[in-house]
Every structure is written in structure tokens, then in C-alpha cells.
Copies of this chain bind each other. A is one copy, B any other.
């Protein structure tokens, strides 16, 4: 296997000027207009990172809290956590399984298989009275965006839809990939040799998650910047799905 050709220099470019996104909004068009307004033009090989929230909003994945009837479990959890029972009900509905529930935190396995706090349900950066769900199929959302952008620009780019997840053992959240199109999420070094001739037997890098984290460095949480371009990341070729980043239960010691 050939060593990966890594670039000497990568740029991460913020995209400003994306308006509030409503259900049914033409996301590719809004992103291209914002790129234009930011003085940027897509190039072949660019990776477009997009916070899931604008994807979810364009797909109508906002739920009005007043339309939600909490279950008895949601009511009882809400009482003990001091939280909104309707919001907890939405978390329970978006969960395939509860992994841990303690200290006011619900850690769920979502229907997609992601393990994250509150099944990815979140009320930040959404209008008051609403909660935002993850896209129902983020890899499909990424493919759709990829396809629309290819159609409008003729550029072969990669698309990365992100969310910020916590993780055990370490403080703080990091941005990770929940949907991708146009590149492989994992860089598999197994079978390659390092410069001492040592055969790498276990090294697989979650490049999609590192790219998501890199994009977050310019996106932030309060800057109205739900998108960024990563330019010149050369292994961003081929195809793949963020679902490849979900570790199968039988290979996971922490389910």
C-alpha cells in the first residue's frame, strides 16, 4: 500500500453571510451565495464543512415544544433533572437506546447509531420554543448537498456535516462528522511501514473527525458561521459514509 500523500499546507476558510435557514430553504444555493459574499470560490478538492443545524433546519427537523406530549418517564426525568419534560420526551423519541442516564445527563444511542448527549437534540441556535433534531439520514443529506453543488458549480468537492459531541474521560466537546459525501472518513495505515521499517498494524485515523474539528476552529458557536471550507486536504478523494465511523457494538468495550 502506498503511503498517503499528505499536503504541505491546508487552509481553513470561514463562510460568512449565511442567513437564518428555514424549512425547505435551498441550502446549496444559500451556501454558494454566502461563499460569493465571503469572496470565496469553490475549487476542485475543497471540503465543505457544514454544521448539522442548518441542514436540520432546511429539512424541517425543528420540533415546536408545545406540540409535544411528554410521557410519564419524560415527566419524571424532567422533575428530577429540573428540565423541560417536552424536551426530554423528544430526546427519548430520538433514542434507540439509553447508554447512561445520570447527573442530569441523558447519553443516548440515536436511531443512526451515534452515541451522544440528548440524542443530538438541542435548543441552541434555534428559535425559542423549538428543539432541533439531527438530520434523519446525515450521509444522505451530505450526498444531496454534494450533488446540488456539483450540479451548480461543476466542482468536485467533498461535503462534511458536523455536530459537537462530548466524549468520556476528556473535558469539552469536539466537532465530529455525522454525514459525509465525496471522501473516505478513515485513513487506514495498516500494512504500511514507518521509516524504521515497523509494520503499522492498528493505525486507522478518523480523518473525517479531525477535519470536523479543524472546521470548528473558524466556525465556533456564536459567530453565525455554520460552514467553512477546508482547502488542499489532498486525501479528500473517493467516497464513503460517516456511518463507517460508528464502531460496531461487538468491537466496543463501552456500550
Which residues of A pack against B, CB within 8 Å?
A: 3-4, 6-14, 16, 38, 100, 102-103, 105, 107, 114-115, 123-128, 164, 167-176, 185-187, 189, 192-198, 200, 203-207, 209-211, 213-214, 216-225, 233, 244-247, 251-255
A12–B10 CB distance below 8 A: yes
Chain B residue with minimal CB distance to A206? Answer: B172
Given contacts A172-B209, A174-B206, 15 further A-B contacts (CB under 8 A): A6-B223, A8-B13, A8-B38, A10-B11, A10-B217, A12-B214, A102-B253, A164-B203, A172-B207, A200-B221, A200-B222, A210-B213, A210-B216, A211-B217, A213-B214
The residue on B at minimum CB distance from A5 is B223
Shortest C-beta distance, A110 to chain B (Å), equals: 11
Given A173-B203, A209-B172, A245-B170, the answer on whether A220 and B128 have CB atoms closer than 8 Å is: no
The complex places the Cα of A14 from the Cα of B225 at a distance, in Å, of 27
**Which of B16, B127, B224, B246 sits near A169, CB closer than 8 Å?**
B246
Beta-carbon contact of B198 and A168 below 8 Å = no
Point out the residue from B11, B102, B203, B204 that lies within 8 Å of A124, measured CB to CB.
B203
